[in-house]
Structures are given as structure tokens and as C-alpha cells.
Structure 1
Amino acid sequence: MIKKKRYNEHEEHVNEGWLIPYADLLTLLLALFIVLYAMSSIDAKKYEEMSKAFSTYFSSGSGVLSQSGIIESDMRMDSTVNVKQTIDRSITKQINTLVNLEQIDLEKIQKKIDSFIQTSGFETKIRTSLTKTELTIMISDTTLYNSGESVIKPESRAIVMAISMILEETEDYNIIVAGHTDNVPISNSEFDSNWELSQKRALRFMDILLQNNKMDPERFQIVGFGEFRPKTTNTTSEGRAMNRRVEVSLVRRFVIDKQL
């Protein structure tokens, strides 16, 4: 009688050990493409979205092999976490570098404006402020306008043009021109409210800035806040005078989490 040859089941089983390095390779390639994309065009919003996407992916426990149920490996999970941490550190480092460079640039612009203010003797009329969101130039309304009017005084147009010459060197930043008033109700035939007065003053200010043909109109927007964004109290004449102002703000491209 012919005996049937018995085969060892393990001899027919395919060695699946290659799947571990293959899965790691796919993960690293994915990370590489994401880093290259981030380096080509990085901003804070994109980083936040990217970080959330990675957090969702890596915390879900799903991977290249988990759905098929072929293999689960603590080594692969450790590698995945390390890749995410490496990407986060790399992108964070890039953003911090951009934030620091922007801070240096805005400080130079502020010094140039402050020098103009001091040289021109406008210390009581024009001030600057650098915050975590913007560099702002604040001009008192009495420097620019007669009471209840939106037309800039002829003798003050030179101040606005001087500011525009400084701003023409700041093409990397968008600019917001904002009008503010005190809380005393407006009462004339031209304006029905402080909203209208503040907005019209901002518009007239921007119009003069844009007479400089080196200024790009697409960088600008205007807003009128009326009496609703006071710098100080409206209970004194000095406070009301400080609240009546025009602000020109260079908006940061990279918003920082804390004051530098």
C-alpha cells in the first residue's frame, strides 16, 4: 500500500515578517511628503489643521495593516508615534522661526515710525503699539479732523502721506484702517451716528494713503467701531480725546500664542 506523504503545515505558510518594515516604509514616505508640503507653504492655520489630522490618524489605532488583521506590532506603534513627534517638532520649529523673523521685521518698522514721530514732534498726537496680533499706529482725531467732520485737515494731509511712505515698505502685511469716536452722540446733518462718522473717517484716511501709487489697495480694509472700542474711560475730557482716534494696523501673518 502506498503511503501518502504528510506535509508540515508550517512549510506552506508564507513568511510575513517583511510586512513590518514595509508598513514602516509607507508611514515614513507619508510623513516625508507631508513635511515637504509643509515646507513649501507653511502657515499657522495649516499647521493646526495638519496637527489635528495627524492626531486623529495616530490616536485612532488604525494603520496600514490593522484593517486586514494580518499583524499587530508594538514596534510599529512606537515607530508611528516617533514619526508624528518628529513631524510636529519640525513644523513647530519652522513656525517659530517665521514668528521670530516677523517679530524682528515689525520691530524695525515700529522703530522707523517712532523715529518719524519724534523727529516731527508728534509724540502727543501719534503713538505705536506692537502686540501679538498686529503693529498699530494710533493718530488722535484732533490731529486729523475738525470736530464732527470726516474730511482730513489740509495741514494734516502731509502726516498721512508720510505714514504712507513708511507703509509702502511693508508689502508683506495686510492693513486695517479703523475709525473710533467717544461716546458723545453725533448731532449734525451729515452723520446719523458715531458708527457712520468713524467709518467715514477711516475711509477718508485710507483714500489719502492710496494716493501713494506704491500702495496696493488689495492690502487694505476699513472698519468703523464708533464708540464701542474705547482705549480708556469716556468720563473725562482727556479720556474722550484719547478715544477719538484713527488706528492703522499691520496684521501679523503668524499669530503668536504669547506676548513676545
Structure 2
Amino acid sequence: MNEDSPRPKKQDEGLPAYMGTFADLMSLLMCFFVLLLSFAEMDALKYKMVVKSLDNAFGVQREVIADAVPVGTSIIAQEYSPGEPKPTPLKVVRQETIDDTREKIKVTMDEEEVARQQAQEIAEETQKFREALDEEIKEGLIEVESQFSRIVIRIRENGSFPSGDARLNPGFKPILRKIHDVLVGTGGQIAVAGHTDDVPINTPRYRSNWELSTSRATSVVHELLEPGDMKPERFVLEGYADTKPLVPNNSPENRAINRRVEIIVLKSPVEESLTRSIDELINEHDAVDGSVSTIIER
């Protein structure tokens, strides 16, 4: 051999160095897939299908009859028991509602209709009182007026009661009978209120204007109830003394105006009819709420 020729490199003994790194990589990949397999849940049916397909793919002809389908959550678990599936509850709220806007419009229309009918009824009944008491109104003994949801029949003291007394003049009783005849055909509650002027009274019979005003109202109520064809439950008795004057008590003429007994026919106000309509809507809504149910489907 020529001494000047290059010598061949000496080969290292054993496997190449990269094989160590490659082996480590394969080991890590194997561990990774084993971990994935251990974390996976076992579907027995799919597992059986996969095994069957592998048998057919690799030509395995031997059949092993299994007594039971394998169950479990991991194929590497040594001891396991079948789990109980618990689906996530699904809350479904089923509710029936009503059209509030439509009902509000209906209530508004009902309110307007009730107000119109009530105004017409009050106007007709006021006219009946005026026709029945036409002579007394012209003589200044009686005043009749309508005030929104009520009719006021105002009886002046002149001709009806003696001064400082609550006993009705006999000549005034026929006038009360006319008022009675119209009240019989009129609906609503009846309030009878007595009023006096500011001149104090103190007699053995009446200690103050309070007793005088109340006694005069009582006399009118007794006269209206005497025929027996009106229910006492319709009447309300009130005495105001000099607390509610129509005009200032600064002259004899004004004091005579303030001495009076008022028969007030109270009609059901529109608010009461509207309240009844709203109550009916609330009752209907409560009935609908009774049918609302919350169902939990599993």
C-alpha cells in the first residue's frame, strides 16, 4: 500500500447515533397514543364493529363467542362497572299570554262608552226632577242641578223648616212626595245632607248647629221613607252645620242661601265601572297564569 494514499475513516461500532433519538421519538408517540386511548370512552357497539372489521381485514377466520358485550369507560381499566347515563336537563318554559294592548284599548273604549251612557242617564233623570218640581223651582224653594256623577236637589229653608227648628212644615210635605216619586224610579245611592249658617244655636232641643243640620236631614229621610217603597239601605245621612257654605255668611240673604238640605243622588262613577273591567281582566289573566307550566325535559 502506498504510504501517500489517504487512509479510510474508521467506522464506529454499533448503530448510528440518530437511532437513539428516533427510538425516543417512537417511544413518546407510543405513550401519547396510549394516553389518548386511556382517556377515550368505550362505546361497546362501535368497539364490536371495529373488531369485526379488523377480523375481516386481516383474514382472521377464528370466531370467539363472547358471553357478554364488554362495557366500561376505558379499555385499560382493570376493574370497572357500567356507568349510568345522565343527560343534561333541558328547561323549556311554555307560557300563554294575552294581548295587553288589545285589552287596554278595549278598557278605554268601555270607559268612554260607560261615561257617555252615564252622562245621558244623569241628564234624563235631572230633567225628570225639573219637570216634576217646575213650580217649586220657579218659586225659589227648590234647586236641581247635575254634577258629573250625581244629581243635587237643594231644598231651601224658606217654606220647608221653621227658623231654628227641624220639623217639616206641613205644606212642604207634598213637595217631598214629588221628589220621592222621581227617586223611586232612579237608581243609585241617596245622600241627604243638612247645612246651616254660621249663627250659633244653643237651645234645649239643639245644642249646636251640628244637631240642627243632622235633625233636618233626618226629617227629610223619614218623609221619603214613609211610603215604604224605598230601601233604607240606599240612604246616607249627613250633617255639616256651617262647614260647607255655598256663599260667604256675610249678609242675611247669603245666610238664608246656606241654610238648606240637599238630596244627592249618587251614580256609580266611571272609575268604578273601569275598575270592574280591569278586575275582570285580572281575573282572566290569573286564569291563564294557572295554565302556565314549566316543563323540564330530560
Does residue 214 of structure 1 match 2:214?
A: no
Pick one of 148, 170, 173 that aligns with 1:157. Answer: 173
Does residue 139 of structure 1 match 2:160?
A: no
Q: Which moved more, 1:134-143 or 1:115-124?
A: 115-124
Cα distance in 2, alignment partners of residues 122 and 208 from structure 1: 23
Pick one of 190, 206, 217 that aligns with 1:202. Answer: 217
Structure with higher Rg: it is 2
Cα distance in 1, alignment partners of residues 146 and 157 from structure 2: 21
Alpha-carbon RMSD across the aligned residues, in angstroms, is 2.6
1:27-64 deviation digits (Å, cap 9, x = unpaired): 13xxxxxxxxxxxxxxxxxxxxxxxxxxxxxxxxxxxx
Cα distance in 2, alignment partners of residues 209 and 131 from structure 1: 22
Per the TM alignment, residue 143 of structure 1 is displaced from its structure 2 partner at its CA by 2.5
* SS of structure 2 residue aligned to 1:195: helix
Q: Which amino acid in the other structure matches residue 202 of structure 2?
A: S
User: For residues 220 and 233 of structure 1, do their structure 2 counterparts lie closer, same or farther at Cα, with a shift above 3 Å needed?
Assistant: same
Larger proportion of helix: 1
1:64-93 deviation digits (Å, cap 9, x = unpaired): xxxxxxxxxxxxxxxxxxx22222221232
Question: Which residue does 1:55 correspond to in 2?
Answer: none
Question: Which residue does 1:33 correspond to in 2?
Answer: none
* SS of structure 1 residue aligned to 2:114: helix
Runs of 4+ off more than 6 Å: 12-16
Pick one of 261, 265, 270 that aligns with 1:250. Answer: 265
Per the TM alignment, residue 231 of structure 1 is displaced from its structure 2 partner at its CA by 0.5
Per the TM alignment, residue 133 of structure 1 is displaced from its structure 2 partner at its CA by 3.7
Equivalent pairs, count: 192
Q: Which amino acid in the other structure matches residue 174 of structure 1?
A: Q
Per the TM alignment, residue 123 of structure 1 is displaced from its structure 2 partner at its CA by 4.5
Alignment gaps of 5+ in structure 2? 1-36, 47-86, 273-298
Question: Which residue does 1:126 correspond to in 2?
Answer: 142
Cα distance in 1, alignment partners of residues 266 and 89 from structure 2: 61
TM-score, L = length of structure 1: 0.67
Cα distance in 2, alignment partners of residues 147 and 211 from structure 1: 24
Within a 5 Å distance, the mapping from 1:48-87 to structure 2 comes to 83-87=99-103
Does residue 100 of structure 1 match 2:145?
A: no
Per the TM alignment, residue 3 of structure 1 is displaced from its structure 2 partner at its CA by 8.0
Does residue 91 of structure 1 match 2:142?
A: no
Question: Which residue does 1:225 correspond to in 2?
Answer: 240
Question: Which residue does 1:35 correspond to in 2?
Answer: none
1:134-189 deviation digits (Å, cap 9, x = unpaired): 1110010122100000000001111111100010001x200000000000001322
Per the TM alignment, residue 99 of structure 1 is displaced from its structure 2 partner at its CA by 2.2
Question: Which residue does 2:7 correspond to in 1?
Answer: none
Q: Which amino acid in the other structure matches residue 217 of structure 1?
A: P
Cα distance in 2, alignment partners of residues 132 and 212 from structure 1: 30
TM-score, L = length of structure 2: 0.59
Question: Which residue does 1:45 correspond to in 2?
Answer: none
Does residue 178 of structure 1 match 2:183?
A: no
